[in-house]
Chain A
Amino acid sequence: MGNLDLLLGGLQSAATPENLLYAAIGVLLGTFVGVLPGIGPAMAVALLLPVTYSLEPTSAFIMFAGIYYGGMYGGSTTSILLNTPGESASVMTALEGNKMAKAGRAAQALATAAIGSFIAGTIGTLLVALFAPALAEVAVTIGSPSYFAILLFALVMTTTLLGSSKVRGFLSLFLGLTIGLVGLDLNTGQARLDLGVTQLRDPLEIVAVAVGIFALGEAFWVAAHLRRKPLQVIPVGRPWMGRADWGRSWKPWLRGTAFGFPFGAIPAGGAEIPTFLSYITERRLSRHQDEFGKGAIEGVAGPEAANNASAAGMFVPLLAMGIPVTATASVMLAALTSYGIQPGPQLMTEQSDLVWTLLASLLIGNTLLLVLNLPLAPLWAKLLRIPRPQLYAGILFFACLGAFAANQDAFDVFLLLAFGLLGLAMRRFGLPVLPLILGVILGPIMELKLREALTISDGDLSGLWSEPLAVVVYVLTALIVVVPIVVKRVRPDLDSPAAEVAHARAEQDEERIER
């Protein structure tokens, strides 16, 4: 059966009135939460996890797909209308988008972002439907040693490519792996790191961990540094674009998609690098170079498409191999596991209905997003004026509700608080969040594969590189660690993308101070 038939089958099961309703609710909830300042897509998905507790998996994932794309869209609205991007992936959008908004072209900026996201998301989802099954077919044949090597590769890559400090990245990763250890050992049933507490004999409630780190940690951090002067929100009407804007937007959309999708599919920290690459490409190719820095529409169209294409690309490793490469993907993986669905290469065959319905609902969600949100944009913009004490009190309220609702055990709220304080400390000490959350999720799978591999070789460590693929992956991993260090020695003036992004952001900050 061809992938297209399967996707059409998925569309049929996703297009029931009930499922369409879930998709619409997901899109609206996702956008609502995503537009709120201080809440990114990962936090949106984590906060809304409890909503899906009583739904069956298919409906829950249809809703999730909507929440995910809605959250991404909401984030871009925020970064265009406020001059402060919430997460690294929207830095590039904010750069030109906010300038456009200030010049009275907010409607066009929002329109090019929305339509670009739609096109990139649709192409991206179709590419997922094309690549994920093929990859899964290969992945099923991969043995434990290679699987372990790939997991290690994913962790090392996200940890070294992101952020400016590798020490802090690895510290964060090891903390995450430690958190993943808590609970009963798989083989011998002995409790590890339970500190004598009964509730710690089960694996930690993932909602408490994710919501604690993302939502509570962020709310505490904001509380410590709350802006006393309210930010200026630029008023906006209904998004629209003229002929000239279409002409200047469509190529950046497609190029952005081309940058975003591959980067989303590999563990390179999500959208940060592709949005940056898209931005500099558009700046170089544009016939309106003088407009860059003053609000060029290409600078919004490209990065926004890259952002959404990478959001779609993330589904390739997630569905084909059970490997999340972004924070949002790891929260979704956690949700899958909580339904008792085993993530991994066999997901495509064992849960093919679920997978194809999910892919189809990504397409539907994407379309709904465009249809519902273009007219609703002025309403969403009003959300940005919500008073901050009530906003962050609301985040705390829903975070505690989510943690409590899972087991109705006050201990989970206590865990939430503990992880919230950890999240606060991480923000204070500049520890990146992504390596930690990937460590929590991937740690247990890694240990399983490690022990399988070593059981086959009867405890001999050489069993880890007994497969050619494993050797190749180890060499790649070593190269990723070594090459940047060598490059830095040889050409110390060369900046990494992460550093350039930081630089661009610093420039923007300077401008803000000047005003």
Chain B
Amino acid sequence: MTRVTRFAARDPGPAARMAGFLAHLRAHGFKLGVGETQVALSALTHIDAARPDDARRALKCVCTGSAEDTAQFDALFDSFWLNEGRVRSRVKPSDTMQSRPNVRSSIEGDGPQSGSAGAPHAPDGGDGEAEADGMGRLVASTVTNLMKKDLRDVVSPQDIAAAEGIARRLGAALRDRRSRRRRAANKGQQIDFRRVIRRSLATGGEPIALPRRSRPDRPVNIVALCDVSGSMTVYARVFLAFLAGLMRADPATDAYIFHTRLVRITQALRDADAMRALNRLTLLSDGFGGGSRIGAALDQFARTHARTSVDGRSIVLVLSDGYDTDPASDLGDAMARLKRRGGRIIWLNPLKSWRDYAPVAGGMAAALPHLDHFAAAGTLNDLAALEPELARL
């Protein structure tokens, strides 16, 4: 227990060691600034710092900020201070993109998910394109599709124009109607006393003008995540057109596609020229029609982009059939994490319109408890028909 790490003789002292420890935590995804080092050092002056358990508890309350941090902290503390092999058994940072939180596009991605030119690979050890097996069931495929697909074959600018109208209407249906906060306005239910008093100074305490406060409408930002894996290829035309329409109808939206990895396509879709937008999308969507790793993609989204773009006034729109090659629990965890950001989650599943469809695919079943709305959507007409349902949310 008390095999305390022996630091090298040239070690410059406790302050530097503490800075080293904080850097060690930061490298494992803790959100810590420079100020925390100072706080950590002063916290140690209030306890018996020579006792490892006391020091551990004190540093724990300074350095952690969430239940996840707390769960990770003990192992990280041991590895740094208690000689648990700083080099050997370093705790592996959880996968996905934690160490690169500001990734906007994974084009420059390295590692097995990059899907760049080169040898084909099967991330989960899958063996071949398994879009459907002998039983006639749809199964999720694990293979990254390296064939480039020209999206101009999939979506036409006319589709986008049609989808834009629908997206505009849906977007309007999803707008938050009222804010809870009031703001100064010419008309409104409440009198703005602060301004009344100020104005009445000029009239000797006679409140002649009665400025008011109202609850302004506040926009909801929509974040759409579209599955473009092999099993979804037939619906890609509709959904990509829909996304393009959504992006063009409303500047406060964000769009991503995922197959075996997650790609942000917002900028590409906003291109003023619909044809050029598709071109840019083709370049981005390397791996289109390949395997599906919904759990990993959504988890990555929840950990990176969602931290800045999803809050209590967001709607996350997931367009996917729910066939996932990752374990179902991954998807459940990712959805729970996403839900904690406070937004509403709507899942549109093209298969739901099938007769006798039940969400039994492991991933779909795991995601269901976290959804605010689960609806069918396979064609543009289906999407248009969603308007009244979404307005009610």
* Chains A and B are bound partners: no
